[in-house]
Amino acid sequence: MGFFTKDIKSLNDLFMHGLQDLYYAENQIMKSLPAMIEKATNEQLRAGFEKHLAETEGQVHRLRQVFELLDTEPKGDKCPAIEGILKEGRDLMSEIGDEDVMNVGLVAAAQAVEHYEITRYGTLVAWATQLGRSDCASLLHKNLDEEKAADQKLTAIAEKSVNRKAA
């Protein structure tokens, strides 16, 4: 967005900006997951990250379909929020020197990402619906449901094994 001009003047502009923001974020998340997979020594956690990486590729594809439905080219807009969440995760990983504690840290970092995504997709589904674009809303809702499921899976992994092993 331009610094000297106020480019967002309608709910539709705001929706487009949010879509570009999330498109940028999903691409950054996709780039971050391989390092998390590599660091995860808990088998369930590693498998969960691998599954979510594949899901994330599908989510990027759905976002591209939303851009297409809106007759626009897929375009990312740098999102400082996801940059900060991912940087915090990388910083934390570089400071942890124990395998079991690393798994706990990875769950926490990943859940921060999922919660970011849940809030963004929730907002975009509501805006798409308000704008009369149920076609876009239903694609975005599929991504929202996957993020919620990923978050719940992480909670289960933490509570059933990872946290206990590190305690």
Q: Which residues bind Zn ion (CB under 5 A)?
A: 1, 77
CB of 1 to Zn ion, least distance (A): 4
Report whether 113 contacts 90 (CB < 8 A): no
Q: How far, in Å, CA of 51 to CA of 48, rounded?
A: 5
21 is an interface residue for Fe ion by CB under 5 A? yes
Of 20-28, 41-49, 85-93, 94-102, the window that binds Fe ion (rule: CB under 5 A) is 20-28
Compute the least distance from the CB of residue 77 to Zn ion, in Å. 4
Query: How far apart are alpha carbons 28 and 152 in whole angstroms?
Result: 22
Nearer to Fe ion, 21 or 42 (CB): 21
Say which entry of Zn ion, Fe ion, none residue 81 contacts (CB below 5 to 8 A, set by partner kind): Fe ion
Q: Which stretch binds Fe ion (CB under 5 A): 38-46, 56-64, 133-141, 152-160?
A: 56-64
Alpha carbons 144 and 59: distance in angstroms, whole number: 9
Residue at shortest CB range from Fe ion: 79
CA angle 111, 143, 116 (to 5 degrees): 35
Q: How far is the CB of 116 from Fe ion (least distance, A)?
A: 9
Residue 114 to residue 110: CA distance in whole angstroms: 6
Burial of 43 per CB tally in 10 Å (0-12, 13-18, 19+)? exposed
Instruction: Using the minimum distance from each CB to Zn ion, give the nearer residue, 14 or 37.
Output: 14
The residue of the chain with the least Cβ separation from Zn ion equals 1
Question: Is residue 42 within 8 Å of residue 103, measured between CB atoms?
Answer: yes
Question: Which of Fe ion, Zn ion, none does residue 59 bind (CB under 5 to 8 Å by kind)?
Answer: Fe ion
CB of 83 to Fe ion, least distance (A): 9
Work out the burial of residue 115: count CB atoms within 10 Å of its CB; fewer than 13 is exposed, 13-18 middle, 19 or more buried: middle
Q: Does 81 bind Fe ion (CB under 5 A)?
A: yes
Q: Which residues bind Fe ion (CB under 5 A)?
A: 21, 56, 59, 79, 81, 117, 147
